[in-house]
Structure 1
Amino acid sequence: MSVEIKGVDALQKELERRFGGENMKRISDAALKEAANNFLESLKKELATFKDTGATVEEATLTEPFDKNGVRTISVHWRGPKNRYRIIHLNEYGTIKNPNPKGKGAIVRTLKNAESQYRKDIEDVLQRGIANG
């Protein structure tokens, strides 16, 4: 089943015409940051359920908003002295020797559970930003 939404480009152009491109970028970046911070908080709670040293939770961070294929994006990544970025995929997907680690699927589970709240956060901040003009 697929859904086609028409008029999104027209709506985006109208918003940029009314509020200005830079202002809309600022508002959308604020919305992305707030929603991403809420997502990261949920992710850290999920990761804490199988905490060992705590490095995976501590090193989970967000990027600043950036353009990726014409879409404003924020990425979650792991940066820190314990280099958890090297092994986070092993916790998420398992290995041949340990196919079901304690944290298997934690990121995907959090993404799925947080999707509706993420959309609501984006909508709320956009509405506040547009209302304040």
Structure 2
Amino acid sequence: MSDLLANQGIFFDEVDKVCILEPEVAKQTNDLKEECQIYVEKMDEFQKIASRFIQMIEVLGKEVESQKIKAIGARNILQSMEKQKENNQQQLQAVITEKSVELERLKIQLNSLQKTELEQNEIINELTHY
């Protein structure tokens, strides 16, 4: 009788419950359903992990961008300071050159005045001896 019902597509499972699927097909279907549920759970977990990873990467990217902007600013300040240093150095060099020229002029003037003083002292000496 069991074979007659099986030929008609009616089957009994382990607890003698009436089924329209063969017991092996029903078992495979349930196994597949459980595997699909596990797969869906793993996919959900993967999605959550991927989402957290993307958030961390976005935060890290923003921090990198912030540090990059700070580095560019620091580089610009450094370049500005270098140009200012060069300008100051050129100004100081100009002052040194100016002072050197003035020193030479004053040395020449001093020599001239010393020569004039010497000549005047000689004239005074000549006039006082007579």
Say whether the fold is shared (TM-score over 0.5): no
Higher helix residue share: 2
Larger Rg, first or second structure (1 or 2): 2
The alignment's TM-score, normalised by the length of structure 2, stands at 0.25
- Richer in strand (by share): 1
Higher RCO (CA 8 Å, separation ≥ 6 residues): 1
